[in-house]
Amino acid sequence: MTTTKDADQVGPLALGPLRAEPGTTVRGIVPADLGTLTVDVPLALVAGARPGPRVVITGGVHGGEFTGVDAAHRLAALLDAEEVRGQVLICIVANPLAAYRGRLNVSSIDGVNINRVFPGDPQGSPTERMAAWIFAQLIAGADAYLDLHSGGIDQTLRHFVGVRLTGEADVDATTVAMARAVGIEDVIFGQNAEGGNSHAAAVRQGVPAILVETSQLGERDPAVIGGLVDGLKAVLRRLGVLESDGSEPAAVREWVWSGEVASDVTGLWYPEFTAGDDVTVGQIIGRIVDPADGREHVVHAPASGNVFYGMRGLTVVPGTELAAIASAAVPGRTAESLQTPSEPEVLS
C-alpha cells in the first residue's frame, strides 16, 4: 500500500499490481498469497482528485452473504473519482475461499470463520492468512472502514448496524456518526471492542469502523441492495468523501446485546420465531428433535428483547447459533457510556 495523505497533496493509490492515478478508478485483481494457495481478490481503487480520508469497504468477508458483494460492486461502478475527496478502496469479494466455494461463513478449505480471527495470522491457516492480508493491505492505516454482511444462507436477520466502542473519543465519535448515517434504523452497541470481528479489530487499532448487516437466507433483493448503496454514499458524504447534500441522518434506535442461545445437541431445529420478533426471557422459541428417537429438546429465550438473528436451517449440531437477542438501550444514556451485561459472539 502506498498512498499520499498529505492535506495539500493527492497522489496515486496503489495496491499490488493495481495503480490508480488521482481522479481515476482502477478495478482488477490483487493476488493474496495464503501459503498453500493464492487467491485472486477483486478490488476497485478509487483515487480522488482532491485530498481527503481513505475509506475501505469490504463485501464478501463471509460466503453466502450477497447484498454486500453486490452493493460493493455497484458502488465501485458509480463513484466518480473526479468528484471524490480522498481515496476509497472497495474490496468486492474479500474472502474468495468462502464466497465462491461453499457460500458459508466458514471456509471449505480449513473450516475457519474469518470474522472470528481478525486481525489474522500471517503464519496461520489459509483463512487466518486471508484475514491478515485484508487487515494489513486494506484496513490498517485507513481513516474509516465499513464491513458489509448479511444473515447467512440458513439465517434470518433483521437489518442493523453494529458498532464497538473503544473509549477513544475520536474513534468512537466517527464510528457512531458513520453508524447513524447509513440509514438503517437499528444500531446495536457491543460491550467492548474485543474479539475477532473485522470491525472490532479495526477500532482497536484506531480505525473507526462499522458492521452493516442487510438481508438474509441468501437473498439478493435489488431494492435492499439499492438501499445499501444509498447508505454507503450517505456515509461517504458524512466522512467528506462525497459532497454533502445538506440532508441530516434520520433518527436511529439504539440497542444493546442481551442474550444468545446455541444448540447443545444434534438434531432437527423447529424455530417458533423469526428475526424481528419480540421475545420474553424463558419463552419457548423452538424445539430440537432427535431424528433417531423423536425426543424433543425445548429451547427457551435466554433474555427478553428482539431477535435480530435466527437460525432457519433444519439440521443443527452442538454450538449452532440459534438466536441472538438485543434489548433497547436505556433512554438518555449516550452511546459512549453504554455498558451491557453480555454480548453474543454470534453476529458478524
Q: What residue ranges bind Zn ion (CB under 5 A)?
A: 62, 65, 149, 348
- For residues 149 and 180, which CB has a smaller minimum distance to Zn ion in the complex? 149
Could you give phi then psi for residue 122, rounded to 5 degrees?
-65, -10
* Distance of closest approach, residue 134 Cβ to Zn ion, in angstroms: 14
Say whether the peptide bond before residue 318 is cis (omega within 30 degrees of 0): no
Alpha helices in the chain (DSSP H): 66-78, 96-99, 126-134, 169-181, 198-204, 222-238
Beta bridge partners of 20: 13
- For residues 263 and 348, which CB has a smaller minimum distance to Zn ion in the complex? 348
Grid cell 466522512 in the structure block, residue: 239
Amino acid identity, position 95: N
- For residues 61 and 79, which CB has a smaller minimum distance to Zn ion in the complex? 61
Cell matching residue 18? 493495481
Cell matching residue 138? 486494506
* Distance of closest approach, residue 64 Cβ to Zn ion, in angstroms: 8
CA 42/CA 270 separation, integer angstroms = 39
- For residues 143 and 321, which CB has a smaller minimum distance to Zn ion in the complex? 321
* Distance of closest approach, residue 148 Cβ to Zn ion, in angstroms: 9
* Distance of closest approach, residue 149 Cβ to Zn ion, in angstroms: 3
CA 189/CA 244 separation, integer angstroms = 27
Specify whether the CB–CB gap between 321 and 346 falls below 8 A: yes
- For residues 95 and 327, which CB has a smaller minimum distance to Zn ion in the complex? 95
Alpha helices in 100-216 (DSSP H): 126-134, 169-181, 198-204
Distance of CA 169 to the CA centre of its chain: 22
* Distance of closest approach, residue 80 Cβ to Zn ion, in angstroms: 30
DSSP state of 251: P
* Distance of closest approach, residue 6 Cβ to Zn ion, in angstroms: 36
- For residues 216 and 348, which CB has a smaller minimum distance to Zn ion in the complex? 348
CA 290/CA 294 separation, integer angstroms = 5
Q: What residues contact residue 124 under an 8 Å CB cut-off, 6+ apart?
A: 117, 132
- For residues 175 and 197, which CB has a smaller minimum distance to Zn ion in the complex? 197
* Distance of closest approach, residue 65 Cβ to Zn ion, in angstroms: 5
* Distance of closest approach, residue 112 Cβ to Zn ion, in angstroms: 14
CA 270/CA 122 separation, integer angstroms = 41
- For residues 62 and 204, which CB has a smaller minimum distance to Zn ion in the complex? 62
